[in-house]
Amino acid sequence: MKFGVVIFPGSNCDYDTYYFLKFVLGVETIFLFHKENSLQGADVIILPGGFSYGDYLRTGAIAKFSPIMKEVINFANKGGLVIGICNGFQILCESGLLPGALTKNNTLKFVCYSQNLKVVNNKTFFTNNYQMNEVISMPIAHGEGNYIIDNDGLKDLYDNDQIILKYCDEFGNITQESNPNGSIDNIAGICNKNGNVFGLMPHPERCGEPIFGNTDGIKIFESILNK
C-alpha cells in the first residue's frame, strides 16, 4: 500500500508525516506537491497539518484550489482513502469533502498539549484497531479547531455514524472542561458518509513511536493497513 503526503505552501507537518509513515510504519510513502496533477498511484492520501497559504482568508480556503486537490477530490469521490490532519481537516471541510467548518477556538488561545480522546466509532477504515469507546491521547496544536455544523448537519453525522473521535477527560467523560476549542458536542474527528474520508484535529503522526512517550496514534494507520 502506497501513501501520498501532499505538500501545500505552508504545510509544516509534511516531513513528520512522511517520516512516520516511511520509517516507523514502514510503508511506501511519496510526497505530492500541490502543483502536481497526479496522485502517482497512491492508495491513501494524507493532507498534513500546517498553515497552508498562510491561513489567509480562512484556514484551508485557498488550498482547495491547488491543482492536486482536483485529483484528491476525484479520488475521494471514487472511494479512495483520504485523511486530513489538523490543517488537512480544515482543507477537507473547505473542499466540501467533509461537512461543517472549523473556526477559531472559543478559548481565545492556540492550544498545544496532549489531549484525551474517545474513539466513539471503531467500525471505520481508520479506527478498526481501537476498542469501541477506548480512551486515547494525542497531541493537539491548533488555533482554529472549533468544529461547527448546523443542527441538520449534526443530526446527519449521528444518523450516519460519522463522528469518530470526541474530546474527553482521562476517564472518557465527554465534558465541557475537556473540550479544548468549543467544538460542537466535543467533536475531534469525523468521516464522510461513505467512510473513506477522515478529518481530525489531533496529530496521530506525532504519537506513533515509543520515543515520544505515546504510541496511540499508530493504530489509525494500522487500521488502514488492516482494511
Partner 1 sequence: MFKAKIFIKRRRTILDPQGKAVELGIKSLGFENIKNVRIDKFIEFEIDEVDEEKVRNEVDKICDSLLANPHLEDYYFELEKI
Q: Give the shortest CB-179-to-partner 1 separation in angstroms.
A: 13
Active site residue 36: no
Residue type, 202: P
Instruction: Give the containing element (helix H, strand E) for 155.
Output: helix 151-159
Residue pair 128/88 in contact (Cβ under 8 Å)? The answer is no
**Cell numbers that stand for 219 in this block:** 493504530
Site residues for partner 1 per CB under 8 A:
57-58, 61-62, 65, 93-94, 100-101, 103-108, 146, 148-150, 182
Q: Give the shortest CB-58-to-partner 1 separation in angstroms.
A: 6
Q: Which CB atom, from 46 or from 72, has the smaller least distance to partner 1? A: 72
Q: Give the shortest CB-106-to-partner 1 separation in angstroms.
A: 5
Q: Which CB atom, from 107 or from 131, has the smaller least distance to partner 1? A: 107
Paired with 118 in beta bridges are 135, 166
Whole-angstrom CA distances from 210 to 28, 215, 217 are 21, 6, 11
Active site residue 203: yes
Q: Which of 86, 168, 191, 207 does the annotation list as catalytic?
A: 86
Paired with 147 in beta bridges are 102
Q: Which CB atom, from 10 or from 153, has the smaller least distance to partner 1? A: 153
Active site residue 207: no
Quick one: which of 102, 105, 137, 99 has its CA closest to 118? 137
Residue pair 202/189 in contact (Cβ under 8 Å)? The answer is yes
**Cell numbers that stand for 25 in this block:** 510504519
Cβ atoms < 10 Å from Cβ of 26: 9
Q: Which CB atom, from 57 or from 225, has the smaller least distance to partner 1? A: 57
Q: Give the shortest CB-92-to-partner 1 separation in angstroms.
A: 13
Residues labelled as active-site residues: 86, 203, 205
